[in-house]
Amino acid sequence: MALVNPHGKDKVLKPLLLTGVELEEEKEKAKGLTEVRISSREAGDLIMMGIGGFTPLEGFMGEADWKGVCADYTLSDGTFWPIPITVSTTEGQADSISNGEEIALFSEETGEIMATMKVNEKYKIDKEFECQNVYKTTELDHPGVAMVMNQEDVNLAGPVKVLSQGSFPTEYKGIYMTPTETRKLFDDKGWSKVAALQLRNPMHRSHEYLAKIAIETCDGVLIHQLLGKLKPGDIPADTRVKAIDTLVEHYFVKDTCVQAGYPLDMRYAGPREALLHALFRQNYGCSHMIIGRDHAGVGEYYGPFDAHHIFDEIPNDAMETEPLKIDWTFYCTSCDGMASMKTCPHGKEDRLLLSGTKLRKMLSEGDEVPDHFSRPEVLAILRDYYESLTEKVEIKTHKYSEGV
């Protein structure tokens, strides 16, 4: 059997990253173009377009695509897409740019020119409309809402030529992989049925259990972690990489899983982000997306299984990658092992409910971590990380992380 097709009507990867002579010529041309600053989120989206992770997008979305995605999950040509991919600038700079003009997009963090873009459209958006539709709230305490509300006032739309992948290939050498690379890896292994496990936390026992459930029914699992920006208090990628490597080495059968990373910032969009995670994993070659409790959620903005339900609300042909929905998982003392609500008949008093939020809170406060919460080899790495911190960030739990 073959891997799933890339997303979109053409069913082929569309990486927008230039190479060779074409790259050098475009870099030289970019030096003479008007420069527009882009945020970390926008740079991550740009890199994903560059490596084909956001196939079939050819650039940042125009107003019709933006509105269709917010309201109906579709681009103007009918292609399924769950979250707007846009770039913004100030009203003053937008006024100085003509339609049809080429501009250079540079990272506000590194100053590097990341891409050139032909501006086909300039438009203002209703930020509250985007937030209400995508994040289901307009509260600024939501980090995704704050991201949208703090962006500039005018969106620029048009095709891009990507010039750089930023620091990801060097900083995360061996972990950062493009869709072309993961597809080749899966082909070389003879895998066609591959499940993706989304991570922004080190793997605790529930994550391990989810991955092993998938391994029972698939050829293998892609442990795919976010390498971009997180919210304060989340654990950085280099620490997660070490923890996951250790866990895989000691507790997984060899060659049943692959660890890789991708360059996006978290949006914390809950159900909508679960759809995006499944969509771009299709481009990476994954036939299934593991969807557990409170996928891509934050605080109490989403119900613990809203990310399950949203897959039932979209058309059957929206994308090829299917959700692998798994109920709340925990360690049960009476079962003497990992279980879920579907497999464990015992009461709450027998269950050790596991979450990344609870684990981070215990470690950040120096509390003892209960047995069976995480593997000892992983805990040793995480304790070293927390002991190295000079400033502590308060970790707040919520009812879903506590099992309420």
User: Hey, which residues are catalytic here?
Assistant: 200-201
Burial of 103-139, coded b for 16+ CB within 10 Å and e otherwise, reads bbbbbeeeeebbbbbbbebbbebebeebbebbbbbee
Say how far apart CA 213 and CA 209 lie, in whole Å: 6
As to burial, measured by CB atoms within 10 angstroms (0-12 exposed, 13-18 middle, 19+ buried), residue 59 is buried
Say how far apart CA 354 and CA 205 lie, in whole Å: 7
Q: Tell me, what DSSP letter sits at residue 236? A: P
Mapping DSSP to helix (H, G, I), strand (E, B) and coil, where does residue 129 land? helix
Ramachandran area for residue 296 (φ above 0: left; ψ -120 to 50: alpha; else beta): left
As to burial, measured by CB atoms within 10 angstroms (0-12 exposed, 13-18 middle, 19+ buried), residue 291 is buried
User: Going by C-beta distance under 8 Å and a sequence separation of 6 or more, which residues neighbour residue 395?
Assistant: 233, 357, 360, 361, 364, 365
The letter for the amino acid at 357 is T
Element spanning 155, H or E: strand 154-162
Contact call for residues 164 and 114 (beta carbons, < 8 A):
yes
